Amino acid sequence: MRRRIGISTKAFAGLVAVAVVGALHAPGAEAAPAGEQTGGHPGSAAARANTSYQALNKYFGAGPVLLLEEYPNEQQNPYSYIWPYSQGAVAAENLAGIPGSGRKAAAEAERRLEGYKPYWNAGTTPKGYDSYLRPPLGQGGDKFYDDNEWIGLHLIQHYQRTGDRSSLNRAKEIFGLVVHGWDNDPTHPCAGGVYWTQAPWSQDRNTISNGPGAELGAHLYLLTKDRSYLTWAQKMYEWARTCMLAPNGLYWDHIDLAGTVEKTQWSYNQGVMLGAGTLLYKATGQKRYLTEAKALANASLAFYGSEDRLWKQPTRFNAIWFKNLLILDSVAHDARYTKVMKAYSARAWSEVRDPATGLFHFAEGPVQLLEQAGMVQIDSLLAWPRSRYKKLA
């Protein structure tokens, strides 16, 4: 089965700002307008986020809870892969976190959680989410550790907003899968690290399968005080620093079993590692983690601020980078983080959004679910007060 859109491989080295979206609920169910939910004026971040989310309801909805991969859908599959779906679910969660968002936004976030169920594979040890829907809606697919980590982080954020213990328990199950993905062969180049996928066609170990794993482990430690989570989080973080950190202070993408490093420097890789450093600082009180997170934030701001590099990154990746800058901001305030988010949002709204549909056209062809979800995520978080950033995951 084809891997879902959005993988971090050489095949995407020439990608220019393709990205991010996920929308919403059953046909006919509508989120409350931004003004009702938040008191935001037209054009505010909250209003933009809700308008974009409503466009996703209209164009990407596929039955009561599932979503299309793209619009118009030219894929053979009738539904999206789990990675795009998860980013749509995160978009709903971010909307529900806007102060005063109201009951409808909360209900939409719950509805998005329901959409995970058809992807869950309980017939394997350890359990986890397949890349595509299980029978009868689909034929399942390989498990990707980063896919599962995104969902685990989403569930942590949902738990921190609602206190839903089932979300926390599922996040713990997911972390068990992530640990299972650790490379235990000491003969491998840069031994250790979490593999990217269980698929037999890849034995890569990626920054993006270790950084979010470290974040998930750190969150679980902070919530449970079980030191095994912290131990694993530190191992994943240190592996990435040892094997993926480039001389310019940014992170490369992955290493294969021949020892070849793929050196593309995607924005989401920088995001998850600075987020992991921040969370490990919160978990341990060790200042070196915070120092490393700040250094990475500074290096990435400088790098993506030159030669229009940020705009050339996929929006799906930028949304993750931005979120993690806010996680760092919750500990060490820096006005540059929201400033760059606001500038990116304004440019996307004015340059690539179709006002007739509310969809963002970052590239030729169908609009990707991932693109729209990324913009909803970004604008939703711009509507959050800084005091809530500590609830992000």
- In a domain, residue 7? The reply is no
Taking only the tens place, the pLDDT of each residue in 1-35 is 333 333 333 233 333 232 222 222 232 233 333 33
Beta strand extents in the chain (DSSP E only): 61-62, 66-67, 70-71, 120-121, 128-129, 205-206, 254-255, 261-262, 353-354, 359-360, 367-368
Domain holding 243: CATH number?
1.50.10.20
Range of the domain at 128: 15-391
Whether the Cβ atoms of residue 154 and residue 393 lie closer than 8 Å to each other: yes
pLDDT category at 83 given cuts 50, 70, 90 is very high
Taking only the tens place, the pLDDT of each residue in 203-246 is 999 999 999 999 999 999 999 999 999 999 999 999 999 999 99
- In a domain, residue 109? The reply is yes
Q: What is the mean pLDDT of residues 42-68?
A: 95
Chain centroid, CA 182 distance in Å? 21
pLDDT category at 41 given cuts 50, 70, 90 is low
Q: Is the pLDDT of residue 36 over 80?
A: no
Cβ-proximal residues to 92 (8 Å cutoff; 6+ apart), any chain:
22, 24, 53, 105, 108, 109, 111, 112
| pLDDT at res. 250 | 98
- In a domain, residue 312? The reply is yes
Please tell me the total count of domains within the chain.
Answer: 1
| pLDDT at res. 27 | 28
- In a domain, residue 10? The reply is no
pLDDT category at 42 given cuts 50, 70, 90 is low
Chain centroid, CA 343 distance in Å? 20
Taking only the tens place, the pLDDT of each residue in 172-194 is 999 999 999 999 999 999 999 99
pLDDT category at 275 given cuts 50, 70, 90 is very high
pLDDT category at 43 given cuts 50, 70, 90 is confident
Taking only the tens place, the pLDDT of each residue in 326-379 is 999 999 999 999 999 999 999 999 999 999 999 999 999 999 999 999 999 999
| pLDDT at res. 120 | 98
Whole-number Cα distances in Å, 375 to 162, 262, 263, 326: 24, 28, 27, 16
C-beta neighbour count of 344 within 10 angstroms:
22
C-beta neighbour count of 123 within 10 angstroms:
8
- In a domain, residue 144? The reply is yes
The model's pTM is: 0.90
- In a domain, residue 8? The reply is no
DSSP letters spanning 312-351: HS-HHHHHHHHHHHHHHHTTS--THHHHHHHHHHHHHHHH
Average predicted confidence (pLDDT) for the chain = 91
- In a domain, residue 82? The reply is yes
- In a domain, residue 3? The reply is no
End-to-end CA distance of the chain: 30
| pLDDT at res. 16 | 29
| pLDDT at res. 315 | 98
Please tell me the distance from the alpha carbon of residue 114 to that of residue 112, in angstroms, as a whole number.
5
Please tell me the distance from the alpha carbon of residue 239 to that of residue 41, in angstroms, as a whole number.
46
| pLDDT at res. 17 | 30
Whether the Cβ atoms of residue 367 and residue 20 lie closer than 8 Å to each other: no
